Structure 1
Amino acid sequence: MSMKKQLSMGILSAALGISLIGGGTYAYFSSSETTNNTFAAGTLDLAVEPTALIEVENLKPGDWVIRDFELQNNGTLDIEKVTLDTDYHITDANGDNTDDFGKYIEVEFLYNADKLDEVIYKTTLDQLKDMSPEAINKHIFYPDLGEKGLPAGTLDDLVVKFNFVDNGEDQNQFQGDSLQLEWTFSGQQATGEEK
């Protein structure tokens, strides 16, 4: 390639580079503003008071125990539903059980703490253990808490009666046995809404 052609190519390349640099810089007006936004989530805080509902000894068939407790919404959001999971463990003192002790512990959820005369729902512990939490809400908590559920910062008193069912037959297999009952209450938020 001749010197003239090389020089021409160099000048063209330089001109192209300068045009690219010059074309990339230009002046314009601008303005900007920053907004500060906050999204804070509320809290669901369902509490049960007292946490140990029942500790009783020396039960015999036909005995019953009445206990009351509070469901408290200590959170900032309303609780629409309260569900209950039931579990229990039996200690067979003599190793002679042929039946489930939970079948003979009847649970009556009572409506009014003052009157103690209206039963919302009655079942046995073994049936309660097999029920879905949603069924528990429908039969037990909905009649008492109503459509409003448990609004933030409120509480509801509930009363429960435990009966050791006397079936009129030999129940000696349960002598000395114990049943550890575990109830897990869960609160569910209301449906989302425009804020």
Structure 2
Amino acid sequence: MSIKKKMGMGIATGALGLALVGGGSFAAFNDVEAIDNTFAAGTLNLTTSEGAEAMFELNNLKPGDSFEKTLVLGNGGTLDINEILANVSFDGHSNVSHPELPDNDMQDFLNQFNIKILQDGVERYNGSLGALNGVGNVDVTQNEEGEPGLPVEGKTNIDFKVTFVNDDTLHEGSKLFEQNKYQGESANIHIDFEATQMPGEEK
């Protein structure tokens, strides 16, 4: 066995002996603390009130009719919401031809309805339903105190009042009301809400 190997074994043996001697000679108090660390991502969970999927499912409307609906948006996650962005779109227009009146498109039909939107009692929009077609990324974030953002377990109420405008304009050269051409028509409305997180911060 070489001198280098002998020295190596001697040092190792000596260290082991020291450990055994030390372990057998001292009975000091001992305390062990275990620290478990967890890194977990929070959750964003935007909730809607019950029945929101079909809140605008109304039939057999006539000029002069109106209806009101309330949508409650809530924060059911573990992170504060920074913004709630709304995107509005329409499709599925069914045009019904009238033999004595010209055809119309979906935009004409939507313009027959006025919609007033209030958020927690504050008016956010008042105008034609058709003007909302294709509008995207509208910030509807506001908590109960009127401040931006929606904290965990917070909520905001959005009230819709829709009126089928009563227009008694006669079609040119006819005794028929212009609005007769909208009888039997319909369209679908889609409102998509997107919740975004608060900016990241140093922990």
Scaled by the length of structure 1, the TM-score of the pair is 0.69
- Of 114, 124, 143 in structure 2, the residue corresponding to residue 120 of structure 1 is 124
Q: CA deviation at 1:35?
A: 7.2
Checking the alignment, whether the CA contact within 8 Å between 1:91 and 1:177 is kept in structure 2 is: yes
Quote the residue 1:41 is aligned against: 41
Among 77, 84, 87, the alignment partner of 1:85 is: 87
Q: How high is the sequence identity, in percent, across the aligned residues?
A: 30
1:130 alignment partner, SS class: coil
- Kindly state the Cα deviation for residue 95 of structure 1 after the two structures are TM-superposed: 4.0
RMSD, matched Cα: 3.2
| More helix as a share of residues | 1
Unmatched segments (≥5 aa) in structure 1: 1-17
**Offset, 1:183:** 0.9
Tell me how far 1:47 sits from its aligned partner: 1.2
1:155 is matched with 155
Distance 1:144 1:172, change over 3 A: farther
* Residues 62-109 of structure 1: CA deviation (Å, up to 9, x unaligned): 221111121011100111111111122243252464232122222211
* TM-superposed deviation, 1:55: 2.2
Cα distance in 1, alignment partners of residues 190 and 148 from structure 2: 27
Does the C-alpha gap of structure 1 residues 41 and 112 become closer, same or farther in structure 2, counting only changes over 3 Å? closer
Residues paired across the two proteins, number: 166
1:98 maps to what in 2?
104
Does the Cα contact within 8 Å between 1:90 and 1:177 map onto a contact in 2? no
Q: Following the alignment from structure 1 to structure 2, what is the Cα–Cα distance between the partners of residues 108 and 85?
A: 16
Shift of the 172–144 alpha-carbon distance from structure 1 to 2, 3 Å rule, reads farther
Per-residue CA shift, 1:6-42, capped at 9, x if unaligned? Answer: xxxxxxxxxxxx9xx97xx89799xxxx975321000
Once superposed, which parts of structure 1, at least 4 consecutive aligned residues long, lie more than 3 Å away? Answer: 25-29, 34-37, 140-148
**Contact 1:80-1:188 within 8 A present in 2 as well:** yes
Aligned to 2:111, the other structure's residue is in SS state helix
Structure 1 Cα separation of the partners of residues 155 and 75 of structure 2: 6
